Structure 1
Amino acid sequence: MTETALQSHTQDIVVDEVFPHARETIWKTLTNGALMSRWIMAPTGFEPIEGNRFTFQTTPAGEWDGVIHCEVLEVRPNERFVYAWRGGHQANDGYGSRLDTVVTWTLSEVDNGTRLRLVHSGFVTPRNDTAYKNMSQGWKKVLSQIGTVTAEES
């Protein structure tokens, strides 16, 4: 094999939606642990403070215990929220394979509300192909849930 054939490539998931709410309202939905549990999963130890480590618990698989380890990397209130998203296990193929990615939420004001852009970056191919496929669909549903939760809290 050539050196090029041995190199890994990465893919990013990008989901973008406009909501009829102020940035401050969307921000609250993104950074409040109780509200997060309604649109993604209940976080453990979450605080929207740079350096804070927290976890999510999902379905275990093989050698992986289902824990997603996160660390808040950047907090710019009402503008940008970034955290590491790590999980899986080296021994797993497909679902539950080792994952070391970053989730970035960007909020921008538009005429009719707020544009919320999610970029979940760093999926290594082919190792993370299953996670990429599943989460590409999952994040679309999550953004819809964020809209629902935000509307209920407004």
Structure 2
Amino acid sequence: MNNVALQSDTQESAAQEIVVEANLPHAPEAIWKALTTGELIGRWLQMTPTGFEAVQGKQFTYQTTAAGAWDGVIRCQVLEAVPHQRLVYSWKGGHESNVGYGSLLDTVVTWTLQRIERGTRLRMVHSGFVLPRNDGAYKNMSGGWKKVVPRVGEIAGEQD
């Protein structure tokens, strides 16, 4: 894997986004399969979705560690699904009474796949972090997504 980069919006603003890009040596079809198959998502994200289908409007959830008034459920909805090109879903969790971990989170994850000469350029943007409320989630997920995106490539490689 090459060109794995972590970039973030550095403007002084209330909302931040995490951007991770990688050139992966696999066809967009293999990357798409890794991004849209529940069991494979569970392997690269280390959380298996419940009820996921790559169909616009489909609601699904992830379960993570609960905290305070938050039950640990991440509620998502597919906003856009263009096979082998683009997958967008909402990512909502937390509770308004929590501070730090488990604070209210209302964000969007966008995956963009672009065929390149030797594989696929994969771009993940997780947007909508409101700072300072989501500062902990932003920092933790910035590091997390940087590890996850290469794992998508590893899982896709097993599907080639």
TM-score w.r.t. length of structure 1: 0.93
Once the two structures are aligned, what percentage of the paired residues are identical? 62
Could you tell me which runs of 5 or more consecutive residues in structure 1 were left unpaired when the two chains were aligned.
1-7
Matches of 1:58 and 1:9, distance apart in 2: 26
Is 2:21–2:121's contact at 8 Å kept on the other side of the alignment? yes
Matches of 2:119 and 2:95, distance apart in 1: 40
Matches of 1:78 and 1:98, distance apart in 2: 32
Match of 2:131 in 1: 125
Match of 2:40 in 1: 35
TM-score w.r.t. length of structure 2: 0.90
Backbone CA RMSD of aligned residues: 0.9
Number of aligned pairs?
A: 147
Amino acid at match of 1:120: H
Match of 2:17 among 9, 12, 34: 12
User: Structure 1 residue runs of 4+, over 4 Å off?
Assistant: none
Matches of 1:77 and 1:153, distance apart in 2: 16
* Higher CA-based Rg: 1
Q: How does 1:1-154 map to 2 (within 5 A)?
A: 9-40=14-45, 41-154=47-160
Match of 2:10 in 1: none
Matches of 1:12 and 1:76, distance apart in 2: 22
